[in-house]
Amino acid sequence: MNDHNSRPDLYMSASHTCPYLADRSAANLLVDPNFSVSPALYDQLITQGFRRNGTLYYRPQCIGCCECRSVRINVNRFTHTRSQRRTLKYNQDITLKLRPADYSDEHFSLYRRYQAIRHSGDSMDDPDPEKYRQFLTRSDVETFITEFRLGRRLLAVSVTDHIANGLSAVYTFFEPDEKRRTLGTYAILQQLELARRIEYEWLYLGYWIKTCQKMSYKSQFRPLEAFDHNTGCWASIN
């Protein structure tokens, strides 16, 4: 058990190939994996640009590169674009259900299809149930799952954390054949609506790279703030 006033040690990971920018190497600043992260500490880490992968807490700390930035949406100031309003209208036939963050064979089957299509050839396209559990169902904090269904058919799953004054979008996966529904965008819009109903101030979206096409959808949510590792401050980017 940690001392009540203790702070975790931080470690640098080994350098590895950047999964987003082909010509770059990457490294992460890691919280000591033996340290028990409390919800209160997690709140602090999130506001300092950290994310979590299961019970591993990290922040990009790449030598000579600061392209990867943690971003968040101000829930109360958010305004829908015309495209986002069309997405909401198009998906009016979808029903949502909030569940505990437990393992489900149905969820894993969808996750495996999603990875095979959306991340073919990278480190995530050969998942197994144990890796899935480590990534998405093991948590030290208050985590829940949202199911998106068309009738009985599962279309999408989003994993989300509660934090002190907001929600943190951990991961969303969806039916890759339903491109017209833009389910990734729809999931964020529903997370924003939930945060608004709870009267939270922020929705944290994870990392964003301006030149990475896979992440470009995040910049469509306005106003969007990004964390600056050099100043330790958040600032609007759109």
Q: What is the pLDDT of residues 203-219, one digit of tens each?
A: 999 999 988 888 889 99
User: Which pLDDT belongs to residue 124?
Assistant: 57
Contact 235, 226 (CB under 8 A): yes
List the one residue out of 238, 161, 156, 155 whose CA is nearest residue 198: 161
User: Which pLDDT belongs to residue 23?
Assistant: 83
Please tell me whether the peptide bond between 176 and the residue prior to it is cis, using omega within 30 degrees of 0.
no
List the one residue out of 50, 72, 52 whose CA is nearest residue 202: 72
Query: Tokens for 69?
Result: 């930035």
List the one residue out of 96, 123, 78, 23 whose CA is nearest residue 218: 78
Domains and CATH numbers, the chain: 10-69 (no CATH), 71-228 (3.40.630.30)
- Indicate the pTM of the whole model: 0.92
User: Which pLDDT belongs to residue 234?
Assistant: 96
> Exposed/middle/buried for 181, CB within 10 Å: 0-12, 13-18, 19+?
buried
d(CA 163, CA 172): 18
Mean pLDDT, 10 residues at a time, over the chain (238 residues)? Answer: 70 89 89 94 96 95 89 97 97 98 97 86 70 95 97 98 96 95 97 97 95 89 93 90
Contact 10, 30 (CB under 8 A): yes
Residues in the chain, total: 238
Q: What is the pLDDT of residues 162-182, one digit of tens each?
A: 999 999 999 999 999 999 999
d(CA 166, CA 76): 11
Q: Please state the φ and ψ torsions of residue 20, each to the nearest 5 degrees.
A: -115, -35
List the one residue out of 10, 74, 14, 20 whose CA is nearest residue 45: 10
The identity of residue 105, as a single letter, is: D
d(CA 121, CA 116): 8
Strand partners, 44: none
User: Token pair 């790279």 is at which residue?
Assistant: 209
CA distances to 67, 119, 184 from 150, rounded to whole Å, are 37, 24, 15
User: Which pLDDT belongs to residue 129?
Assistant: 94
